[in-house]
Structure 1
Amino acid sequence: MTNERPPVETPLIAPAFATSVLERLRGGLVVSCQALESEPLYGADIMARLARAAVDGGAVGIRANTPQDITAIRAAVNVPVIGLWKVGATGVYITPALTHAHAVASAGADIVALDATARPRLDGLSLTATINALHHKGATVLADVATFEEGIAAQDAGADAVATTLSGYTEHSSAQTGPDFDLLARLAAHLTVPVIAEGRITTPEQASHALDLGAHAVVVGGAITRPTSITARFTAALHRSGTHRPDTTTSEEFPA
């Protein structure tokens, strides 16, 4: 029996491209263009059109799910694309394994977003090993986290940027009805990599406040690109005002 410690994983230096692509997002709005199979807008061609509309409105970047959508959106817009691949709907499902991350990069994503929480990844690889492998291929990595500690760990693992995407969606973070501005402010004050605000941002005022707190950029999804949820907010408001229409409010049940 030996007392040898396992080798320490050392993050690789991020590719120079990472700085330039992230700089293009600075101070701007990234629109998440995603739809579930059960939703009327599902389909890569529709997501590409949504992305074009978002860019026409001033979006500096697009966040997209699945290689098919990423490829279609990459061909439709000339702004950076943050790509991910959701596999399943529970646990670690945002780009849960290195194979998914490579597929996202190969599809044309400028930035690969992945779950960087403390939970085990699908393939058993550490976050550092995963990020190193992506950096070796020249990819820029955005770490989606839920807690302050995970944000620190993601930076230490070599992530090029950190996002508050998963706050309120894991067992290690408290459920919330609005943006986690406290987490955003703490991460922005302590990290040296860009911090991107994401999660339950539904108004321009909230987006602006996120920048005031130090966000490098702001991601908004459902409030812009999910018409069923947007319509439901209006019908719910009418219902509360005394109408007799049913309350069909649907919350943002999953992170973008």
Structure 2
Amino acid sequence: MHPLIAPLEGSLIVSCQAYPGEPMRDPRTMAQVAAAVSAGGASAVRAQGLQDIRAVQDAVDEPVIGIWKDGAEGVFITPTLEHCLAVIDAGADILALDGTRRDRPDGRTLEQTITAVRERFDGPLMADCDSVDSALAAADLGIDLIGTTLAGYTRARPTTTGPDLDLLRRLADQLPSSSVLIAEGRVHTPAQAAACRTAGAHAVVVGTAITHPTTLTTWFHDAVTSS
């Protein structure tokens, strides 16, 4: 097991992202948010975009999980080999990429992408998966961290209210012992985060519920105005 992975066991990983056009969509702001969640106990920070990865890397001592979102449909989380290499060059400690079985924009398979990445990078890899099949396939390729990031966001599984605990339980039973199971996606409360651990997740990623004030505000706004 890579030395960056062991400290993630039983921990909280925080995703620090803002969407294009939002007031917080600035690498300096995301770096400050990352520093704040680091102070709160985050074991790692997930950062999106090359500038954000560099800024967050300078702001925290914890590992930075780097992604590059390009587009909004299909495979868009670090979708190609070019994106993967750019994320690595930006300083990510852990490279995360789409781990589904869908066609990738550059025509490479996930296996071909991982093989090429391994020629340049010996750090941990994280696959953002959407189903049991995609997760097991990613594990077979030797990907270190298997995330449920895309469960409910493709056609592979229905969208659950809160995290997909059924998927977590199934993966906890079926993944090889060498794989580290990461819960990610729609974890909106501490109770849900704890439920992910009970379901078998080694670590839990929380993003929106900690680092996205626009969404948090709409939750409270809707509750107040509809009462």
Q: TM-score, normalised by structure 2?
A: 0.96
Aligned residue number for residue 154 of structure 2 = 170
- Distance in 2 (alpha carbons) for counterparts of 1:80 and 1:118: 27
The SS at the match of 1:124 is: coil
What is the Cα deviation at residue 136 of structure 1? 2.4
Corresponding residue number in structure 1 for 2:165:
181
Q: Provide structure 1 residue ranges, at least 5 long, that are not aligned to the other structure.
A: 1-17, 242-256
Secondary structure class of the residue paired with 1:113: strand
1:199 lines up with 2:182 in the alignment: no
Contact 1:195–1:216 at 8 Å: present in 2 too?
A: yes
The Cα shift of 1:31 comes to 0.6
2:37 is paired with a residue whose SS is: helix
Q: Equivalences for 1:66-145 in 2 at 5 Å? A: 66-137=49-120, 138-145=122-129
Q: Which amino acid aligns with 2:163?
A: P
Per-residue displacement from partner, 1:156-185 (whole Å, max 9, x unpaired)? 122111000000101222122221000011
Question: After superposition, where does 1:225-244 map in structure 2 within 5 Å?
Answer: 225-241=211-227
Q: Say how many residue pairs are matched.
A: 224
Question: Quick check: 1:132–1:158 contact (8 Å CA) kept in 2?
Answer: no
Contact 1:24 1:80 in 2 (8 A): no
Q: Runs of at least 4 residues of structure 1 off by over 3 A?
A: none
For 2:89 and 2:162, the matched residues in 1 are separated by 34
Q: Is the 8 A contact 1:29 1:58 kept in 2?
A: yes
Measure the CA separation in 2 of the matches of 1:83 and 1:38. Answer: 21
2:136 is matched with 152
Whole-angstrom distance in 1 between the partners of 2:21 and 2:193: 28
Give, in whole Å, the separation in 1 of the partners of 2:182 and 2:108.
25
Q: Distance in 1 between matches of 2:138 and 2:173?
A: 15
Higher mean displacement: 23-32 or 91-100: 23-32
Q: Deviations over 1:138-164 (max 9, x none)?
A: 132100011111111111122111000
User: 1 CA distance for matches of 2:85 and 2:28?
Assistant: 22
SS at match of 2:5: helix
Q: Secondary structure of 2:8's match?
A: coil
1:134·1:141 contact (CA, 8 Å) conserved in 2?
no
Contact 2:162–2:192 (CA<8 Å) still a contact in 1? no
For each residue in 1:122-142, what CA deviation from the matched residue of structure 2 results, as whole angstroms up to 9, or x when unmatched?
Answer: 111111121122222213210
Moved more, 182-191 or 89-98: 182-191
Deviation, structure 1 residue 87: 0.3
TM-score normalised to structure 1 length: 0.85
Backbone CA RMSD of aligned residues: 1.0
Q: Which residue of 1 aligns with 2:26?
A: 43
Q: Report the 3-state secondary structure (helix = DSSP H, G, I; strand = E; otherwise coil) of the residue aligned with 1:24.
A: helix
Larger Rg: 1 or 2? 1
What residue in structure 1 maps to residue 203 of structure 2?
A: 217
